[in-house]
Structure 1
Amino acid sequence: MNRKLRLAWIIPNVFCYLMAFGLTFFVISNLKGLEEIHRLSIYFVMLFLLLSVSLFGSYRIWTWIKKGKM
């Protein structure tokens, strides 16, 4: 079990979650403005992709730890 390797993968994954929460807060707080300039759908797609990457990263880290590779 290599703790440095775990941290090297977990820290960026945590930052991806923080970016997703920040983007969610931004979209919710600027919902009307984004809708007026027709950019709301783009931000929803970006939010979905960011959450997908974060969840997939968490899944991969979890499987690596479970298999003993990390």
Structure 2
Amino acid sequence: MKNNKLRVIWIVPNLFCYIMFLGTLLFVLTHAEELRELNRLFIWVLTSFSLLLVSLFGSYRIWSWIKEGKM
């Protein structure tokens, strides 16, 4: 393990993105009918999907940096 502080600095925001994704997904699932009535369901689903993509991309970058020995 090279630089543990650098790993923590990158991993903590990535975990926060996963938590935001789960919170957004939970909100959408519990309020889907109301969001559909307001024509906002698509926006919330798109936001949730975007958070998932950002989280997965961040995880991939962290994993690749660790594998390359940069972290």
TM-score, structure 2 as length reference:
0.97
For 1:53, what is the secondary structure of its paired residue?
helix
For 1:69, what is the secondary structure of its paired residue?
coil
Is residue 35 of structure 2 the alignment partner of residue 31 of structure 1?
no
In structure 1, give the amino acid aligned to 2:35.
L
In structure 2, give the amino acid aligned to 1:45.
L
Dislocated runs of 4+, deviation >3 Å: none
For 2:39, what is the secondary structure of its paired residue?
coil
Q: Which runs of 5+ in 1 are unaligned?
A: none
Q: CA deviation at 1:14?
A: 0.2
Q: 1:59 maps to what in 2?
A: 60
The correspondence of residues 14-53 of structure 1 with structure 2, limited to 5 A, is 14-53=15-54
Q: CA deviation at 1:27?
A: 0.3
Identity of matched residues, %: 56
Q: Which runs of 5+ in 2 are unaligned?
A: none
**How many correspondences in the alignment?**
70
In structure 2, give the amino acid aligned to 1:52.
L
Cα root mean square deviation, aligned? 0.4
Q: CA deviation at 1:18?
A: 0.2
| 1:39-67 C-alpha deviation (Å, 9 max, x unpaired) | 00000111111100000000000000000
